[in-house]
Amino acid sequence: MKWGKGSGQGGDSPRGYHHGNLKEALVRAALALIAEKGPAGFTFADAARWAGVSAAAPYRHYRDRDALLADVALRGFELFTEALSGAWKDGQPDVLAAFDRLGKAYLTFAKDEPSYYSAMFEAGVSADSNAGLRDASERAFGVLRAAAEKLVAMMPPKERPPALMVALHIWSMTHGIASLFGRGDAARRALPMPPEELLEAAVLVYLRGLGLSGA
Amino acid sequence: MKWGKGSGQGGDSPRGYHHGNLKEALVRAALALIAEKGPAGFTFADAARWAGVSAAAPYRHYRDRDALLADVALRGFELFTEALSGAWKDGQPDVLAAFDRLGKAYLTFAKDEPSYYSAMFEAGVSADSNAGLRDASERAFGVLRAAAEKLVAMMPPKERPPALMVALHIWSMTHGIASLFGRGDAARRALPMPPEELLEAAVLVYLRGLGLSGA
DNA sequence: TGTACATCAGTGAACGCGCGTTCACTGATGTAC
DNA sequence: TGTACATCAGTGAACGCGCGTTCACTGATGTAC
């Protein structure tokens, strides 16, 4: 390979001296490289190479590798929020059905966008030092929390568990399944059923335990 | 610091030309460095430096950094299995109470030994290519599975869910909580309750959903 | 419509650094007799 | 108990390599007039 821009890059403009959209290309490079070797398995120079650009070019767009990764995580959270709220649809028309869609959307995201998911939850980008990232992750969790609130609102007031707790339970369960079994390519363990069904069953049992007659 | 062996190393023999127990020292070095900078944040040379030894010395004991990490993960699974089966105690004297202990032991391990936990679940050491590691992780999961079996055996035969599924649910929930909130130092998100209680509540709801009257 | 200029987004050479890895070596330890 | 020797587990120098980062530069693009 002598005159390609990395490998796999989408075929945008034929590109002369200026790349045109290097920032986007770097994000895509990071995603591809994460998919290939994990969030810790690539360097800033790798990303430049993948985008078909000199090693100095990325500095025009990101301070360093961590800034690139943080941007990937940020975009990931935005897509994630979209996916979740699109599935939840404010609980319409049926809260229980919508809740089921929500969990599936979570797993689907983890499976379809494992690189984003990695950058968001496993790359160790500290959300503490990054307000934008923290807000984005908060918004994603907000969807789950709103759903939990509608869910507990279905129960008689005296039996209602704290919505926040319910949200955390569902999130933990879903994240646990996603991170243990959710990855399409190299599933870490053989499962007797697909992760989606594993989650659905777990949520059904859990909701029954809460006193919600989902099934 | 001029004549120390790294920082923090336990004070064994005064050491001359031979270290005496370099292999153990390297494992401890890896644990310390993981705690400090994550499983991807240190090099083979770092481990040597930490152990107070030349950069070439580790090659006498491990083929490369990955082999060291895999050994850490292996030892982690062994300790983990011990901790879990010690807590489970074959379900004695009361299966439900023992189950509760088991979950707590899981979280305690993740919290007290975050470096081992990282090496086991987050370092990306491929268990596929390492039979010993796979077996060790299988044994750890075996404890959970045996517990799930005793648990479902308490139910009337017609209502029994598959024990494997129950084990996977509990494992996912626990791992989810551990990896989202379980880390002592840099908890990623503020929680309204400690992780142990979050887990306990989740398990209670779940067991109630199964039809087991734990509470 | 054309020209001059400012700005932007790249290049490529250069640098220092630390890592991984090999190698001949050497000090310490264990064992045969 | 002492001596000779084999083996083990370290050293330290050396190497090639790729990364991160800076810098003066330059080609392309946009805009004022």
Per-residue pLDDT of chain A (215 residues; tens, 9 = 90+): 323 333 434 344 446 777 879 999 999 999 999 999 999 999 999 999 999 999 999 999 999 999 999 999 999 999 999 999 999 999 999 999 999 999 999 999 999 999 999 999 988 887 777 899 999 999 999 999 999 999 999 999 999 999 999 999 999 999 999 999 987 544 466 788 999 999 999 999 999 999 987 54
User: Which numeric CATH code is attached to B68-209?
Assistant: 1.10.357.10
Contact, A32 CB vs strand C, < 7 Å: no
Instruction: Supply the pLDDT for residue B74.
Output: 97
Residues making up chain B, counted from first to last: 215
pLDDT tens column, B180-206: 998 754 446 678 899 999 999 999 999
Q: CA B115, B133, B42, A183 torsion: positive or negative?
A: negative
Direct distance between the N- and C-terminal alpha carbons of chain B, in angstroms, rounded to an integer: 57
CB B96 within 8 A of CB B16: no
Please name the residue ranges forming H helices in chain B.
22-37, 44-51, 65-88, 95-112, 114-121, 131-152, 163-181, 195-210
Cβ-count burial of B164 within 10 angstroms (0-12 exposed, 13-18 middle, 19+ buried)? middle
Query: What is d(CA A34, CA A38) in angstroms, rounded to the nearest whole number?
Result: 4
User: Which residues fall inside 7 Å of strand D, measured at CB?
Assistant: A 16-18, 43-46, 55-56, 59, 64-65; B 17-22, 53-57, 60-61
Closest C-alpha among A179, A149, A142 to residue A166: A149
- CA dist list (Å): A59 to A62, A64, A73, A130, B165: 5, 7, 19, 19, 49
Q: What CA dihedral angle connects B10, B13, B17 and B23, to 10 degrees?
A: -50
Tokens standing for A175?
């994240």
Q: Which residues of B touch A201 (CB under 8 A)?
A: 161, 165, 169
Instruction: Supply the pLDDT for residue B10.
Output: 39
Domain boundaries, chain B: 68-209
Judged by CB atoms closer than 8 Å, whether chains meet at A201 and B165 is answered as yes
Q: Which residues of A touch B174 (CB under 8 A)?
A: 176
pLDDT tens column, B151-168: 999 999 999 999 999 999
Instruction: Supply the pLDDT for residue B1.
Output: 32
B interface toward A at CB cutoff 8 Å? Answer: 38, 40, 122, 124, 126-128, 141, 161-162, 164-165, 168-169, 171-177, 179-181, 186, 188-189, 191-193, 198, 201-202, 204-210
Q: Which residues of B touch A171 (CB under 8 A)?
A: 176, 180
Hey, what amino acid is at B93? Answer: P
CB A104 within 8 A of CB A174: no
Question: How high is the mean pLDDT in each 10-residue block of chain B (215 residues)?
Answer: 36 63 97 94 97 97 96 97 98 96 96 96 83 94 97 95 97 96 63 94 97 71
> What's the CA–C1' distance between A58 and D24, in Å?
18
Indicate the SS3 state at residue B4: coil
